[in-house]
A and B are shown apart, each in its own frame.
Chain A
Amino acid sequence: AQKVTQAQTEISVVEKEDVTLDCVYETRDTTYYLFWYKQPPSGELVFLIRRNSFDEQNEISGRYSWNFQKSTSSFNFTITASQVVDSAVYFCALSGLNNAGNMLTFGGGTRLMVKP
């Protein structure tokens, strides 16, 4: 069985602070994919990144960066110099390549509030 844990249910920061959202996963698959999605107040989840289990290189996209560590089964997401527009709920998700049922397993989400 797969499991994704986002231990931080809610984080509040002041604009321009850096913030890291934690994600820990469990899977028995040797090949799997990890995702981050953002859900702004409008409700529609927006895809941010996909990482496969063989690629442990960290990724940076503007103010966003992701740290994938297989040794600790973690896929953490850092926002540098946070902005009010970053306020949203963020979900980490996991999909096994051979996952019967074609299912994506989501974590519980972390609500990020960025105050001006």
Chain B
Amino acid sequence: DVKVTQSSRYLVKRTGEKVFLECVQDMDHENMFWYRQDPGLGLRLIYFSYDVKMKEKGDIPEGYSVSREKKERFSLILESASTNQTSMYLCASRTGTMNTGELFFGEGSRLTVL
């Protein structure tokens, strides 16, 4: 069974803390994505990666960075968490170079910044 695993389902952090969200996929997919989900706004793309050590900004990259040192792992980093980054974060992966394949999602990481 294909799997995208996110390290933490729930996190509570304080303003200014550095936050790491980890995502691992076991499908040997080239493409990995980080989305943020907020009520009424749907999913918005933060960053994506199409290969190891490669990354591209999505719609809302400000305040975030990413790391992809290995093909199976894609990390989202909040250098200094702020309350407006309280949200659900979803990791996804997809095979291939075209935009036609389905995305496989993890279960999400709900982050609360106090």
Report which A residues bind B (CB closer than 8 A). 4, 6, 9, 33, 35, 37, 42-47, 50, 52, 91, 93, 95-97, 99, 101-104, 106-109
Judged by a CB distance under 8 angstroms, whether B50 is at the interface is yes
Instruction: Please report the number of residue pairs spanning A and B whose Cβ atoms sit closer than 8 angstroms.
Output: 65
B residues with CB within 8 A of A: 9, 31, 35, 40-45, 48, 50, 56, 58-59, 88, 90, 92, 98-100, 102-108
Q: List 11 A-B contacts (CB under 8 A).
A: A6-B42, A9-B40, A35-B102, A43-B9, A43-B90, A44-B108, A46-B105, A95-B99, A99-B99, A108-B40, A109-B40
- A97: chain B residues at CB < 8 Å are 98-100
A89 to chain B, nearest CB (A): 9
> Are B105 and A91 touching (Cβ within 8 A)?
no
CB contact under 8 A between A91 and B42, given known A42-B107, A44-B107, A102-B56: yes
Q: Assess the A102–B31 pair: CB atoms within 8 A.
A: yes
A46–B106 alpha-carbon span in the complex (Å): 10
| A43-B107, A101-B56, A102-B56 known; A50 vs B102 contact (CB < 8 Å) | yes
**Which 7 A-B pairs rank lowest in CB-CB distance, beginning with the nearest?**
A95-B99, A47-B102, A106-B42, A43-B108, A45-B105, A106-B43, A108-B42
For A102, give its contact among B40, B50, B107 (CB under 8 Å).
Answer: B50
Q: Which residues of B contact A99 (CB under 8 A)?
A: 99
Chain B residues within an 8 Å CB radius of A44: 105-108
Could you tell me the distance in whole angstroms from the C-beta of B43 to the nearest C-beta in chain A? 4
